[in-house]
């Protein structure tokens, strides 16, 4: 019986002659179509052996076309971030302005003076495209850029303190998420962590006691994704800098996000700046390119020339260096900071963070009918106040008032609604909260595209 059913499976060649496969072969190429067909027939053979009925050739062709569609769909795709977290690490953090993306695209498809001095006609430095701008914007003597801020901290510690001790306050032994934990980074850099003080209170005298002949640098880490409140104490940066310098040590400050402008001028909460840290006496300051700065993924290191030069000559610098596309994008974003007045219009991160509740609520009201139609009967769609957060370990306790579309259904569980929204052509990433699905519209700028994909579809 099984043998007969197996013998009835159409051959690869016969199926390939089906005219409905012609456009698929033209689009995907014959090799991929044949490979997917073989996999499909293998699966079908397996199903027949466990008692399934033989599929007609037409059904196999339809299944093959569906498989090819999935195969051709990119894995990395655009989504709508309606989670209410502006700098969402899992959704790609900061969004670049169009001109920064164009700057990156240009050097990806054309040759560029990446490490070439156009004036002298000889080898140049890839960091030269960023250094002058970073120095101008932060007041630093020198600057370099690497793959990300984790890489920046790793490089700084490896270059300045390999094989030696680094005191860090117990209140600052942070885990950022993923696998970035300060104790692990210190160890990976080949340094010995010297824990100082307590979780809530660390004093200058604790650092003084911890410093010995083995100490190479004092590391301060910005508590970016949590807050220690109540009975707390930590020495001022200027005190730590003075102590480090009196003992001949380097003072390194990992700011995490770090903003290149004072955000309070736009009514946003204050975030420490590299300028402030350098002015307080830090020798090196590290921060991310794709958090509040609003650029591509990068780790920026600014500070004293002698120390930056030491990092530049370290073998890890080569391993962690930034690629030309991101250098192009970062240069473009940094240039926007030369005109800070116009930043909220030109830098997407700041534009989204400064969006008004009135603007977001009006957008929610406009989209509500289309979403309600999409959700269908027994489902309630309402406009509700909500709060957004900055995300990516920036300003952890501050919340931004916003507006959301709230979906509550008597027919479907919130998780099922959220899943259906993720299955749309441009997946919509929402938040499930108190038995409902919430779409915080702060980060929705493509109103037309969002509305268009709801049309003709339903939950």
Ligand X SMILES: *Cc1c(COP(=O)(O)O)cnc(C)c1O
CB of 424 to ligand X, least distance (A): 29
172 binds ligand X (CB under 6 A): no
CB of 176 to ligand X, least distance (A): 5
254 binds ligand X (CB under 6 A): yes
Q: Determine the 3-state secondary structure of 232 from DSSP.
A: coil
The one among 88, 126, 129, 222 contacting ligand X by CB under 6 A: 222
288 binds ligand X (CB under 6 A): yes
166 binds ligand X (CB under 6 A): no
Nearer to ligand X among residue 206 and residue 254 (C-beta):
254
The one among 81, 169, 224, 430 contacting ligand X by CB under 6 A: 224
Contacts of 66 (CB under 8 A, 6+ apart): none
Instruction: Please give the residues from 410 up to 439 whose contact with ligand X meets the rule CB under 6 A.
Output: none
Residue span 388-407 as binding mask against ligand X, x where in contact by CB under 6 A, dash where not: -----x--------------
Instruction: Please give the residues from 1 up to 60 whose contact with ligand X meets the rule CB under 6 A.
Output: none
272 binds ligand X (CB under 6 A): no
Contacts of 109 (CB under 8 A, 6+ apart): none
The one among 176, 252, 330, 381 contacting ligand X by CB under 6 A: 176
CB of 146 to ligand X, least distance (A): 9
322 binds ligand X (CB under 6 A): no
Nearer to ligand X among residue 222 and residue 355 (C-beta):
222
CB of 172 to ligand X, least distance (A): 9
180 binds ligand X (CB under 6 A): yes
Site stretch for ligand X (CB under 6 A), options 4-12, 216-224, 229-237, 343-351: 216-224
Nearer to ligand X among residue 158 and residue 222 (C-beta):
222
Q: Which residues pair with 388 in a beta bridge?
A: 400
The CB-based long-range contact list for 60-67 (8 Å cut-off, 24+ gap) reads: 60/10, 60/15, 61/15, 61/18, 61/20, 61/21, 64/15, 64/21, 64/24, 64/33, 64/36, 64/37, 64/40, 65/20, 65/21, 65/24, 67/36, 67/39, 67/40
DSSP notation for 364-426: HHHHHHHHHHHH-TTEEEEEEEEEEB-BTTBSTT--EEEEEEEEEESSS-HHHHHHHHHTSSS
Which residue has the closest beta carbon to ligand X? 256
Instruction: Give 285's DSSP letter.
Output: E
Burial of 70 (0-12, 13-18, 19+ CB in 10 A): exposed
The one among 81, 138, 148, 379 contacting ligand X by CB under 6 A: 148
150 binds ligand X (CB under 6 A): yes
256 binds ligand X (CB under 6 A): yes
CA distance 215 to 459: 61
Site stretch for ligand X (CB under 6 A), options 58-66, 146-154, 194-202, 434-442: 146-154
Contacts of 9 (CB under 8 A, 6+ apart): 41, 44, 45, 48, 54
CB of 171 to ligand X, least distance (A): 13
User: Virtual CA dihedral for 314, 315, 317, 322, nearest 10 degrees?
Assistant: 160
Q: Which of 26, 102, 17, 105 is nearest to 61 (CA)?
A: 17
Residue with tokens 């920026």: 300
CB of 235 to ligand X, least distance (A): 18
221 binds ligand X (CB under 6 A): yes
CB of 147 to ligand X, least distance (A): 8
CA distance 41 to 15: 10
Contacts with ligand X, residue ranges (CB under 6 A): 148-150, 153, 174, 176, 180, 221-222, 224, 254, 256-257, 288, 299, 393
């Amino acid at each position: 019986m099984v043998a007969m059913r197996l013998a009835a499976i159409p051959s690869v060649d016969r199926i390939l002659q089906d005219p409905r496969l012609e456009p698929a072969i033209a689009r995907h190429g014959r090799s991929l179509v044949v490979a997917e067909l073989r996999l499909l027939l293998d699966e079908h053979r397996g199903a027949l052996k466990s008692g399934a009925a033989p599929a007609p050739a037409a059904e196999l062709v339809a299944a093959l076309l569906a498989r090819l569609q999935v195969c051709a769909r990119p894995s990395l795709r655009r989504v709508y971030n309606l989670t209410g977290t502006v700098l969402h690490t899992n959704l790609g953090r900061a969004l670049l302005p169009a001109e920064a993306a164009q700057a990156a695209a240009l050097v990806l498809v054309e040759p560029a003076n990446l490490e070439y001095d156009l004036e002298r006609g000889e080898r140049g430095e890839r960091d030269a495209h960023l250094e002058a701008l970073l120095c101008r914007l932060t007041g630093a003597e020198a600057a370099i850029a690497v793959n990300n801020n984790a890489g920046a901290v790793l490089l700084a510690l490896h270059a300045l303190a390999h094989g030696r001790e680094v005191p860090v306050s117990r209140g600052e032994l942070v885990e950022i998420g993923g696998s970035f934990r300060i104790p692990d980074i210190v160890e990976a850099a080949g340094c010995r962590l010297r824990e100082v003080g307590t979780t809530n209170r660390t004093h200058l005298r604790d650092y003084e006691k911890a410093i010995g002949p083995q100490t190479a640098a004092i590391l301060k880490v910005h508590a970016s994704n949590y807050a220690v409140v109540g009975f707390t104490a930590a020495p001022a940066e200027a005190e730590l800098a003075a102590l480090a310098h009196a003992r001949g040590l380097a003072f390194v400050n990992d700011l995490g996000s770090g903003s290149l402008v004072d955000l309070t001028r736009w009514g946003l909460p204050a975030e420490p700046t590299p300028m402030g840290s350098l002015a307080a006496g830090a020798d090196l300051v590290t921060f991310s390119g794709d958090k509040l700065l609003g650029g591509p993924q990068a780790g920026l290191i600014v500070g004293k020339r002698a120390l930056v030069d030491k990092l530049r000559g370290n073998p890890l610098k080569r391993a962690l260096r930034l690629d030309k596309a991101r250098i192009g994008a970062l240069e473009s974003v940094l240039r926007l900071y030369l005109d800070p007045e116009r930043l909220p219009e030109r830098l997407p991160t700041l534009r989204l963070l400064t969006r008004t509740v009135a603007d977001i609520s009006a957008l929610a009201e406009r989209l509500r009918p289309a979403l309600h139609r999409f959700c269908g009967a027994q489902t309630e769609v309402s406009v509700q106040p909500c709060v957004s957060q900055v995300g990516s370990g920036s300003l952890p306790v501050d919340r931004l008032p916003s507006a959301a579309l709230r979906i509550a259904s008597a027919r479907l569980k919130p998780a099922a609604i959220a899943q259906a929204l993720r299955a749309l052509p441009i997946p919509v990433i929402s938040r499930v909260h108190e038995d409902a699905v919430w779409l915080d519209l702060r980060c929705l700028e493509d109103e037309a595209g969002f509305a268009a994909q709801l049309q003709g579809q339903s939950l």
